[in-house]
Amino acid sequence: GRRHDVLIIGGGTGGQAVASSLLKRQPDLDIAIVEPRSEHFYQPGWTLVGGGVFQRSDTSRPMQQIMPKDAHWYHAACSRFVPEQQHIVLEDGECIGYRILVVAPGLKLNWDAIDGIKDTLGQHGVTSNYVFDLAPYTWELVQNTSSGKALFTQPAMPIKCAGAPQKAMYLSCDHWQRQGQLGDMQVEFCNAGGVLFGVADYVPALQSYIDHYGIQVNYFSNLIAVDGQAKTAVLSVANADGEQQTIEKSFDMLHVCPPQCAPDFIADSPLAGDGGWLELNSDTLQHSRFGNVFGLGDVGNTPNAKTAAAIRKQAPVVAENIIMVLNGESPRAVYNGYGACPLTVERGKIVLAEFGYGGQLDPTLPRWLIEGTLPTRLAWHLKEKVLPWVYWNALLKGREWLVRPTVLPRPIPAQESVQNMPA
């Protein structure tokens, strides 16, 4: 089989960003990307499709157009890793070798964890902004529902864009309010977790919108089954003693955020760590055991918010470190855990959560310009007009404005035990 300097698994946000970032640094690198899809998605736009602001077509582009001209594209899926022998295996059995492997296949929407949902998703009032084809159905349902019960669910963490289940709910409520229908709607947020948002600084602003829209929040309440025909949802709810009970709720509209996990071919591979996620060093994004393997994006086990915003900071760190390892050095560029979640609390205003590891606030712009813990019009303007452009023209092209990775003078001690540098 063939062998490449750098082999990237996944041509989504992370895979494309790293490829471009590497080519900016070293244009003659031999890079290949393994990606089975013919379309690339701008997933952060799906919230605005579900809110009637963007068209679905604004959020996808042909993969061919996105692939860097100087990278080789294997239009196929990876099925297996053999890191001891520095190669991967495609679904058709072809082996591809590498000096450096980058693993970025995203995560898996685990619909199997919700009984009956596959038969009803996209019909009977059951929708999800987490699926390209269904985000327009969310907006259709919101417009066609003027009274009754709307349920919005959120599974256990981690999920990509942890705020997205609420964003769908706030934008729906905003529409009903503008139509004078909110008083006839009974809106419930069924949250498997026990808090509105994982970083406490953003909770007061979000809670004020919950109160304003009159939303009932049910914590420790996890969707386990749906019957679309009967329009009922079954939730597993922890009572005061921590015992699980099941509760059935009827609905007119149900927005589901599915449980999420690592893709099977990662979870079942030698690269997996606890819970099946890709086992990475959280500073360098190098694999904890295989020194010529890196990873980024939603597949990683690092405790950052799984967002495209995180990849904006991760990609240059991975690129810098790959070049160091190719030169026989230990990686010294470090990632601080940055991620961002623009919470669309109403049409025209956003609470822009930006934070690093441990919930440390990490705003990009000065706080006098955007105070992230409060709803602002400027943050909405960014999300609607600026960030899509930044995504296609900067993040995917390796233009790293305002992003300079921290490079340490010496490698961190944890990296010294990592074996298997590239030949």
The residues that are catalytic are: 161, 341
Pairing mode, strands 375-376 and 349-355: antiparallel
Neighbouring CB atoms inside 10 A of 328's CB total 8
State in angstroms the smallest separation of the CB of 236 from ligand FAD.
23
Residue 154 binds ligand FAD, judged by CB under 6 A: no
Q: Which two tokens stand for residue 221?
A: 């309440």
The interface mask with ligand FAD, positions 257-296, x = CB under 6 A, is ------x-x-------------------------------
Residue 398 binds ligand FAD, judged by CB under 6 A: no
CB 365 within 8 A of CB 350: no
Does residue 116 sit in helix, strand or coil?
Answer: coil
Q: Which two tokens stand for residue 360?
A: 């440390």
Count the site residues for ligand FAD by CB under 6 A. 37
Residue 77 binds ligand FAD, judged by CB under 6 A: yes
Residue 158 binds ligand FAD, judged by CB under 6 A: no
Q: What separation, in Å, do the N-terminal and C-terminal C-alpha atoms of the chain show?
A: 17
Angle at 128 between CA 125 and CA 129, to 5 degrees: 130
Residue 36 binds ligand FAD, judged by CB under 6 A: yes
CB-nearest residue to ligand FAD: 12
Q: Which residue has the tokens 């591809």?
A: 96
Site for ligand FAD in 201-260 (CB under 6 A): none
Q: Strand order in 244-250's β-sheet? A: 221-227, 232-238, 244-250
State in angstroms the smallest separation of the CB of 250 from ligand FAD.
25
Nearer to ligand FAD, 128 or 330 (CB): 128
Closest CA to 163 of 316, 370, 355, 296: 355
Instruction: Please choose, out of 38-46, 95-103, 246-254, 409-417, the segment that lies near ligand FAD by the rule CB under 6 A.
Output: 38-46
CB 346 within 8 A of CB 209: yes
State in angstroms the smallest separation of the CB of 329 from ligand FAD.
26
CB 263 within 8 A of CB 299: yes
Nearer to ligand FAD, 118 or 248 (CB): 118
Of residues 21, 31, 32, 47, which one binds ligand FAD by CB under 6 A? 47
CB 140 within 8 A of CB 242: no
Alpha helices per DSSP H over 148-289? 164-178, 203-213, 264-267
State in angstroms the smallest separation of the CB of 132 from ligand FAD.
9
Of residues 34, 53, 285, 319, which one binds ligand FAD by CB under 6 A? 34
Residue 160 binds ligand FAD, judged by CB under 6 A: yes
State in angstroms the smallest separation of the CB of 190 from ligand FAD.
17
Residue 403 binds ligand FAD, judged by CB under 6 A: no
Q: What's the Rg (C-alpha) of the chain? A: 22
Alpha-carbon torsion angle 147, 149, 155, 158, nearest 10: 30
The interface mask with ligand FAD, positions 306-345, x = CB under 6 A, is xxxx-x----------------------------x-x---
Nearer to ligand FAD, 182 or 293 (CB): 293
Angle at 45 between CA 348 and CA 166, to 5 degrees: 65
Residues near ligand FAD, by CB under 6 A = 9-15, 34-37, 43-44, 46-47, 77-78, 104-106, 129-130, 160-161, 164, 263, 265, 297-299, 306-309, 311, 340, 342
